[in-house]
Chain A
Amino acid sequence: MKRIYVWALLMCTAVSAIAQESFPINGIRDIRTGLYAFTNATIIQNEKTKLEKATLLIKQGKIIAVGTSVAIPKDAVVVDCAGKFIYPSFVDPFTDYGAGQAKRPAGGFNYGGPGQFLSNKPGAYNWNQAIKPEVNASDLFNADEAAAKNFRANGFGVVFTHVKDGIARGTGAVVTLATENNNQAILKTKAAAVYSFEKGSSTQSYPSSLMGSIALLRQTYIDAKWYQTKPAGEGVNLSLEAWNNSQNIPQIFAADDKWSTVRADRLGDEFGVQYVIKGGDNGYQRIEEILKTKASYILNVDFPEAMDVEDPNDARFVSLADMKHWELAPTNLGAFEKANVLFSISSTDLKDSKIFLANIKKAIRYGLSESKALEALTKNPATMLGVYDQVGSLETGKLANFIITTEPVFSNNAKIIENWVQGNKYEVAASEWNNYAGKYKLTLNVGGTNADYNLEVKKDLSASIIGTDTLTAKITINESLVKITFPNKKGKGAEQLRLGGAIVGANWSGIGTDPAGNKNTWTATFVGPMTTTADTKKNTDTLKPLAKITYPFVGFGNEKIPSQETILIKNATVWTNEKEGVLNNTDVLLKNGKIAKLGKDISEAGARVIDGTGKHLSAGIIDEHSHIAALSINEGAQSVTSEVRIADNLNPEDINIYRQLSGGVTSSHILHGSANTVGGQTQLIKLRWGANDQDLKFAGADGFIKFALGENVKRTTSTSNNRFPDTRMGVEEVLNDAFDRAVDYQKAMKENPNTRRDLELDALVEILNKKRFITCHSYVQPEITYMMRIGDKYGFTVNTFTHILEGYKVADKMKKHGSTASTFSDWFMYKTEVQDATGYNAAIMQKVGLNVCINSDDAEMARRLNQEAAKTVKYGGVSEQEAFKMVTLNPAKALHVSDKVGSIKTGKDADVVLWSDNPLSIYAKSLYTIVDGTIYFDREKDAAMHKEVAAERTRLTQKMLGEKKAGGATRPATPSYQVLLTCGDHDHADEMVTIYETQKD
């Protein structure tokens, strides 16, 4: 029976159960109905319904009946599945199966290299090479047996496939993993459109940053809508046409990281699109933000491996965040379930597809329920892709896509025996079909004398023969043939007995030879099952407490985001920055996030009292020029990129937020870099350590934009620049042209409703209308002057000149124009345009009457801005109080927020610092840095936190070592590099695991 069955199936694999009518046949037709009945099985119909001793009946690739009382047609091939489990096969919602190899990413924009300004894709397509909605995976699809086999081994029957390349990637198709026939494999073309922030193989310079990718997507949404009006000038744009045609299918966004998830959702909200978001493995770190997206998700099980941390020198450079993520990543799926977020599971991103099921089981041990796991592998992806009527559960009328397993599919030792796709059988582990485990009576008959032994066989065919000794036997089973070898005695000098025979029913029999060459006959009679000892070895790793989630998810994060308090600082020396000057022995009350009272002998019930005796209280430091807390700083691919926004790529987990709090900084103005003349829109943030990107923003502040002049924008250090401009003359003309275009655009928008909305020009129009303000990187006097003349010509004031190391030469002109100056205290000689820089710059400008700020442009120096301000006392004799205003009140004025911050005045935001000493002194340290009445930095608590970080690192290091010792997979200890986005304007010593990215600021 068994042999016949095997043969029949092999035949069936060769000839598809469903024939394709339009195709001619060479030879004799051989049409089969593929009518099979799988009986006596435990059938898991879907995540909710389990049938015992049930039958699954399939025909022509479809399920025709399923249940416990299914009548079996006479012409059905019956497969007895007693002891077996049948599940609907899985649906992978995010693959590139059969859609061609993804091209290698082209890499980022090279500051020094020549640029590529337009797409080099031949044809009537979009200007940008990374926007390719015209690509349809179904056009490219070609079944790939080698790849399909790996998917099927993991239980998949159907996948969504697309070309994983580009920002708009085009549409994907739903295909089965049957590989006989491409036509029948495709279940649905254009099942979903896919997007990402990564430009992939595009060789075009733009976009070169995350914020550029976002701007490009925004502009493309606008362009596509505009294209519907059939604008004459555009001609045929096949990309925009395809974009428009693919808006009504599911929209999948490959975001991968928790913050990118939020970014993608925000983008969707702007254009009325609810993406299905392909998240990464770290959503658990910000589950509240995830929940707020209201998106459904595609999640992977690509959990990081433990690192080899045996060498403490290597382990030292692995961050706590990375170690914690290693421990917690398997909780990701469970966290989504617990938060009631709808999600599907994909096998994507795995380096080795073989660990897929093991990782699902791991996720289950870490909190995912089995029924949710099954739902996320079947119903959810099928529903999302609009194919739940065909796959995703075992119901009459659906495709005959199912797997047969030895045990419940998520149990530790479960094996998939067969994976049936569209009625075609694919063997996964055929040998698992039969279970030979059990106790047998082994009888050897040598010359008529019987010798009996107990033979115990485990499921993996490891076996023992028990007589006077217990001997280890080796059993090999091939179909129904069996071989057994075992030693004639224990220990050294043992020789082997060899038995060979056949399996008949539950019993085995055959002939054998002993070491001396004596022949025998033997039988092994099944006595009963093995008494199994429960497998308790595993499942223990959930028992121990895991790492705590902190906000942000890095060392020095808090388990709870700090909250606002009522704080009374007693008897401090208060630097008001107001006409009162410095007040001695003064109390300050902070309440509801504001400075509530200022005076002597204040008391407040319930307030946290901080003794300020001998200490100095000041307004928090405001850094006018910073590049922390962002994932990209420069969109340098074009000379005008006013469409990009720093706000789109804030990084609330930058440790430098915390470090700068320790230096008394409470607000930072995060600027675009200086790679181009018109850079991007800036973002003023408050250093609310632990907040999400939205909550970092300084609410209600005016919008600013970064401009840049001089060496950086003309790409002085490049030897192959082909981007206009290459001289200061050209820079001036770029500015003229930009504003000229903006003026015409504004007029056109008023006159013609069909004018194409241009995000780049929108920002410039805001400048014209005094709704957005410029902070302009500038050095030498001619460029400073012409920038002001451009402002004069187009009717706006250049709000701030930043760097402005030759500001002292044209301070009178700047005063007349009304600009603020924001400069370094004493940098000089790092490039040609700063040869005339002098430490006295700030003092001269201040004395001429300008509003002068001292900024950092440097994550390290920002921690010492108070000292940088103090240098204006040394260089030029500015008074101490005026000097301190250069890092507090003056930047507040420059940024139009002096009504809220910058001084200690009743009603202003409670953004204050308690210093151990005169805040201009090198000996002064911030003891408390308070933002909105919330203590975000507390020097005593910091010391305690540092100890906790060290202790947690030790615990996780030990755990990783344990993982290695236990034989778990490990990877080399990978340094957790800190990327510091910075200017190329000054050198940094090469810190070991910090990468300073020369972004030319």
Chain B
Amino acid sequence: MQKKYTTLLIVSLALLQLKASAQETVYPVGPQAGPIVITHATVHVGNGTVLTDASVSFDKGKITGVGASVSTTGATIIDATGKQVYPGLIVPLSSLGLREINSGVRGSNDFQEIGENNASIRTIVSYNTDSKVINVLRANGVLLAHVAPMGELIEGSSSVVQLDAWNYEDAAYKADNGIFINMPTLIPRRGGRGGFMRQAAGDPVKEAMIKIETIKTFFTEARAYLQEKNHADNNLKFEAVRGLFNGKQKLYVRANEVKQMLLAIDLGKTFGFNMVIVGAAESLQIAALLVENNIPVILDNEHALPTTEDDDIDQMYKLPAELKKAGVLFAINDANDQSKQRNISFNAGTAAAYGLGKEEALTAITLNTAKILGIDDITGSIETGKDANIIISEGDILDMRGNQVTKAFIQGRDISLDNKQKQLYERYKHKYKIN
């Protein structure tokens, strides 16, 4: 069985040689065919625990056993001696599948709708499983992504997708799990260029407060509307936020400034929403409030410069460790789309280096993320009963020196880690006859 597997790989590699540069040959895989056990691994569970020389078994897409005494009967054995096993990484926020070529190709971008209130637009229907970016992320162990819309104010609904799918219906891991809103900034902006700076016109605080009032009015009217079943005129926008009122959806609020976050908390409390703050650069300042109100945050910009020139040079690197100390639940992300979040493990690595510690850092890109997205019952850690979303790396996945993902399973499916970048590598190794 194990042998057969290797042969298959060789065959597919041979195919690659022939049809190089065609990522179209990277196929989504069918359901897990039989039980698999990863043995002799160092298992990073995702909840802070590390098991050495441990096994992980999974069948029919679910984890069936974790630990020292796991049955291998009838299973395909993957010997992971000297290797590191992790839960599949989860990108907590992305425009993956919606945004292909950022600059200069408007037609390839579907992440930002026009208009102030787009409560009813849904990212899942636009998620393109054939994006050239997806396979690059997978190769670094990212198996799930939370795909969110962007917009002016009320942005629409997000969905969690798994990254090995033929189409968006296959990809949906948790559809419409959240509604996104964008808090307007309350800091006076400045326009102009380097030597030619000018103060921007208008009072941003006043303008922002008007917008925030618009959001409140919308939710107030939605709440009232949803009390009644029959309406002469159906309202799709009100219908779209029903999940917020019955607890099936979370409200994700993009906010970095303290004032924005305070207003967000007020909004969440007013309507009893289950809320997550996204961005949260200044969250440390209101950590106690976040804990008190049970509000987690998605740190969207780990590799960021300090907010002000007087801040600690490592301010953003240290933020996760500080939030941990304060008891805030958080997930870590890489906001820079050009690197397409393939570096999410290195964002966590930076947090680890600046006081968070390695296992906590891993949690911030696996289990914490699953909790924040409302999918921790089925994924986020290597625990019996959860989906077999698992990756194997040669070394420490948080460090460039160790990060080398050699295998990945989504719901037990042994997915291909090939992508266009690797294929181009092969193509030019061939040209230059190098290794």
Given the known interface contacts A844-B428, A953-B310, A991-B307, the answer about A829 and B101 at a Cβ–Cβ threshold of 8 Å is yes
Q: In the assembly, what is the distance between CA of A942 and CA of B314, in Å?
A: 10
Verify A860–B303 contact, CB threshold 8 A: yes
Given the known interface contacts A826-B339, A922-B398, the answer about A198 and B258 at a Cβ–Cβ threshold of 8 Å is no
Contact of A992 with B by CB under 8 A: yes
Contact of B300 with A by CB under 8 A: yes
Verify B101–A989 contact, CB threshold 8 A: no
Contact of A269 with B by CB under 8 A: no
Interface centre among A105, A829, A839 (most CB of B within 10 A): A829
Q: Which of A520-528, A617-625, A977-985 contacts B (4 or more CB under 8 A)?
A: A977-985
Q: Which of B30-38, B344-352, B410-418 contacts A (4 or more CB under 8 A)?
A: B344-352
Verify A830–B259 contact, CB threshold 8 A: no
Verify A847–B432 contact, CB threshold 8 A: yes
Q: In the assembly, what is the distance between CA of A648 and CA of B196, in Å?
A: 17
Given the known interface contacts A844-B429, A844-B432, A979-B194, the answer about A827 and B339 at a Cβ–Cβ threshold of 8 Å is yes
Verify A860–B349 contact, CB threshold 8 A: no
- Total residues of chain B contacting the partner, CB 8 A: 69
Q: In the assembly, what is the distance between CA of A556 and CA of B429, in Å?
A: 48
B-side binding surface: helix, strand, loop or mixed? loop
User: B400: which of A716, A922, A987, A991 is its contact (CB, 8 Å)?
Assistant: A922
Verify B257–A197 contact, CB threshold 8 A: no
Contact of B224 with A by CB under 8 A: no
Question: From residue 922 to 946 of chain A, which have CB atoms closer than 8 A to chain B?
Answer: 922-925, 942, 946
Enumerate chain B residues within 8 angstroms of A924, measured Cβ to Cβ.
353
Q: In the assembly, what is the distance between CA of A662 and CA of B308, in Å?
A: 16
Verify A949–B303 contact, CB threshold 8 A: no
Beta-carbon nearest neighbor of B405 in chain A: A874
Beta-carbon nearest neighbor of B350 in chain A: A922
Contact of B11 with A by CB under 8 A: no
A-facing mask of B97-112, CB < 8 A → 1, else 0? 0001111110000000
Q: In the assembly, what is the distance between CA of A523 and CA of B345, in Å?
A: 93
Verify A859–B337 contact, CB threshold 8 A: no
Contact of A348 with B by CB under 8 A: no
User: A829: which of B133, B196, B258 is its contact (CB, 8 Å)?
Assistant: B133
Given the known interface contacts A920-B400, A920-B401, the answer about A993 and B300 at a Cβ–Cβ threshold of 8 Å is no
Given the known interface contacts A844-B429, A997-B193, the answer about A555 and B310 at a Cβ–Cβ threshold of 8 Å is yes
Given the known interface contacts A836-B424, A949-B310, the answer about A918 and B401 at a Cβ–Cβ threshold of 8 Å is yes
Q: Which of B122-130, B156-164, B184-192, B319-327 contacts A (4 or more CB under 8 A)?
A: B184-192
Q: In the assembly, what is the distance between CA of A871 and CA of B339, in Å?
A: 13
Verify A107–B309 contact, CB threshold 8 A: no
Given the known interface contacts A105-B196, A826-B339, A827-B339, the answer about A867 and B346 at a Cβ–Cβ threshold of 8 Å is yes
Enumerate chain A residues within 8 angstroms of B346, measured Cβ to Cβ.
867, 922
Given the known interface contacts A812-B432, A873-B400, A987-B102, the answer about A981 and B336 at a Cβ–Cβ threshold of 8 Å is no
User: B103: which of A555, A633, A717, A991 is its contact (CB, 8 Å)?
Assistant: A717
Verify A876–B104 contact, CB threshold 8 A: no
Question: From residue 900 to 927 of chain A, which have CB atoms closer than 8 A to chain B?
Answer: 918, 920-925
Given the known interface contacts A838-B421, A986-B338, the answer about A830 and B309 at a Cβ–Cβ threshold of 8 Å is no
Given the known interface contacts A978-B309, A986-B338, the answer about A848 and B195 at a Cβ–Cβ threshold of 8 Å is no
Verify B100–A829 contact, CB threshold 8 A: yes
Verify B403–A831 contact, CB threshold 8 A: no
Q: In the assembly, what is the distance between CA of A972 and CA of B187, in Å?
A: 11
Contact of A659 with B by CB under 8 A: yes
User: A989: which of B301, B313, B349, B404 is its contact (CB, 8 Å)?
Assistant: B301
Verify B195–A197 contact, CB threshold 8 A: yes
Verify B342–A832 contact, CB threshold 8 A: no
Question: From residue 565 to 609 of chain A, which have CB atoms closer than 8 A to chain B?
Answer: none
Given the known interface contacts A920-B400, A920-B401, A921-B401, the answer about A321 and B194 at a Cβ–Cβ threshold of 8 Å is no
Question: From residue 833 to 861 of chain A, which have CB atoms closer than 8 A to chain B?
Answer: 835-840, 843-844, 847-848, 859-861
Contact of A317 with B by CB under 8 A: yes
Enumerate chain A residues within 8 angstroms of B103, measured Cβ to Cβ.
711, 716-717, 830-831, 984-985
Contact of A56 with B by CB under 8 A: no
Contact of B304 with A by CB under 8 A: yes
- Total residues of chain A contacting the partner, CB 8 A: 96
Question: From residue 377 to 429 of chain B, which have CB atoms closer than 8 A to chain A?
Answer: 398-401, 403-404, 420-422, 424-425, 428-429
Contact of A108 with B by CB under 8 A: yes
Contact of B41 with A by CB under 8 A: no
Contact of A655 with B by CB under 8 A: yes
Verify A632–B194 contact, CB threshold 8 A: yes
Enumerate chain A residues within 8 angstroms of B306, measured Cβ to Cβ.
659
Verify B340–A989 contact, CB threshold 8 A: no
User: B401: which of A812, A848, A873 is its contact (CB, 8 Å)?
Assistant: A873
Minimum CB–CB distance from B50 to chain A (whole Å) comes to 17
Contact of A890 with B by CB under 8 A: no
Beta-carbon nearest neighbor of B404 in chain A: A874
Verify A662–B314 contact, CB threshold 8 A: yes
Q: In the assembly, what is the distance between CA of A924 and CA of B314, in Å?
A: 13
Enumerate chain A residues within 8 angstroms of B342, measured Cβ to Cβ.
826
Minimum CB–CB distance from A311 to chain B (whole Å) comes to 9
Enumerate chain B residues within 8 angstroms of A316, measured Cβ to Cβ.
258, 308
Interface centre among B197, B335, B400 (most CB of A within 10 A): B400
Beta-carbon nearest neighbor of A715 in chain B: B104
Enumerate chain A residues within 8 angstroms of B303, measured Cβ to Cβ.
860-861, 864
Verify B104–A844 contact, CB threshold 8 A: no
User: B305: which of A321, A860, A875 is its contact (CB, 8 Å)?
Assistant: A860
Contact of A995 with B by CB under 8 A: yes
Q: In the assembly, what is the distance between CA of A979 and CA of B101, in Å?
A: 26
Contact of A22 with B by CB under 8 A: no
Enumerate chain B residues within 8 angstroms of A978, measured Cβ to Cβ.
305, 308-309
Enumerate chain A residues within 8 angstroms of B257, measured Cβ to Cβ.
313, 992
Beta-carbon nearest neighbor of A318 in chain B: B308
Beta-carbon nearest neighbor of A950 in chain B: B310
Verify A992–B256 contact, CB threshold 8 A: yes
Enumerate chain A residues within 8 angstroms of B197, measured Cβ to Cβ.
977, 979
Q: In the assembly, what is the distance between CA of A649 and CA of B193, in Å?
A: 14
Verify A319–B190 contact, CB threshold 8 A: no
Contact of A773 with B by CB under 8 A: no
Given the known interface contacts A811-B432, A847-B432, A848-B432, the answer about A991 and B304 at a Cβ–Cβ threshold of 8 Å is yes
Beta-carbon nearest neighbor of B432 in chain A: A848
User: A922: which of B132, B259, B337, B353 is its contact (CB, 8 Å)?
Assistant: B353
Enumerate chain A residues within 8 angstroms of B425, measured Cβ to Cβ.
838, 840, 843-844, 875-876
Q: In the assembly, what is the distance between CA of A871 and CA of B404, in Å?
A: 10
Verify B338–A827 contact, CB threshold 8 A: yes
Minimum CB–CB distance from B252 to chain A (whole Å) comes to 16
A-facing mask of B193-220, CB < 8 A → 1, else 0? 1111110000000000000000000000
Verify A808–B400 contact, CB threshold 8 A: no
Question: From residue 68 to 116 of chain A, which have CB atoms closer than 8 A to chain B?
Answer: 105, 107-109
Verify A108–B428 contact, CB threshold 8 A: no
Minimum CB–CB distance from B189 to chain A (whole Å) comes to 9
Verify B259–A631 contact, CB threshold 8 A: no
Interface centre among A840, A874, A924 (most CB of B within 10 A): A874
Q: In the assembly, what is the distance between CA of A711 and CA of B136, in Å?
A: 24
Verify A832–B104 contact, CB threshold 8 A: yes
Interface centre among B196, B337, B343 (most CB of A within 10 A): B196
Which 7 A-B residue pairings sit nearest by Cβ, starting from the closest?
A986-B338, A989-B335, A870-B400, A838-B421, A840-B425, A555-B310, A922-B349
Chain B interfacial positions (CB closer than 8 Å to A):
100-105, 132-133, 136, 185, 187-188, 190, 192-198, 256-259, 279, 281-282, 300-301, 303-310, 312-314, 335-340, 342-343, 346, 349-350, 352-353, 398-401, 403-404, 420-422, 424-425, 428-429, 432, 434-435
**Selected A-B contacts with CB under 8 Å, 23 pairs:** A209-B195, A313-B257, A321-B309, A659-B305, A659-B306, A716-B104, A828-B136, A829-B102, A830-B101, A830-B338, A831-B101, A832-B101, A838-B425, A847-B434, A922-B400, A924-B353, A953-B310, A978-B308, A979-B194, A985-B338, A988-B335, A992-B256, A994-B305
Given contact pairs A829-B340, A874-B400, a sample of 6 additional A-B residue pairs in the complex whose CB atoms are under 8 Å apart: A105-B196, A198-B196, A830-B101, A922-B353, A978-B309, A988-B335
